């Protein structure tokens, strides 16, 4: 039982490049979400999903896309990377509403 797995752990991109941050959970959790954390700040919600086929925007969705074709996977896509997207990205999941969310170990992304 691996929990929430995020890949890659580290990534450096050039401005304008695109990439996908992967998030997978093996706990059959319905709810998944993506957060970003900038230095000295709390986590900010980017996008979330309450189940397969359903996604919605969080606080800071601009520049990011998500999809949820399966229960297990919730990839985050950066369409055209910008230096302002340099951050640590965390994925989280929970079995249902009102239950604790489990977080992955994060992806540290630098955009030059």
Partner 1 sequence: DAKTTQPTSMDCAEGRAANLPCNHSTISGNEYVYWYRQIHSQGPQYIIHGLKNNETNEMASLIITEDRKSSTLILPHATLRDTAVYYCIVRVSEYNTDKLIFGTGTRLQVFP
Binding site for partner 1 (CB under 8 A): 4, 31, 33, 35, 40-45, 48, 50, 54, 56, 58-59, 88, 90, 92, 94, 97-98, 100-106
Distance CA(14)–CA(70), nearest Å, equals 30
- What residues does 77 pair with on adjacent strands? 20, 65
Query: 10 exposed, middle or buried (CB, 10 Å; 0-12, 13-18, 19+)?
Result: exposed
- Closest distance of CB 82 from partner 1, Å: 22
- Closest distance of CB 105 from partner 1, Å: 5
- Closest distance of CB 16 from partner 1, Å: 27
The SS3 call for residue 83 is helix
* Residue number with CB closer to partner 1 (14 or 97): 97
């Amino acid at each position: 039982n691996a929990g929430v797995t995020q890949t890659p752990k580290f990534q450096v991109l050039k401005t304008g490049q695109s990439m996908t941050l992967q998030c997978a959970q093996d706990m059959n959790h319905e709810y998944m979400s993506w957060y970003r954390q900038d230095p000295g700040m709390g986590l900010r919600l980017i996008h979330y999903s309450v189940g397969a086929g359903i996604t919605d925007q969080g606080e800071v969705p601009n520049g990011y896309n998500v999809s949820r074709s399966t229960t297990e996977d919730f990839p985050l896509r950066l369409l055209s990377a910008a230096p302002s997207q340099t951050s640590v990205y965390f994925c989280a999941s929970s079995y249902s509403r009102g239950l604790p969310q489990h977080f992955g170990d994060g992806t540290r992304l630098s955009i030059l």
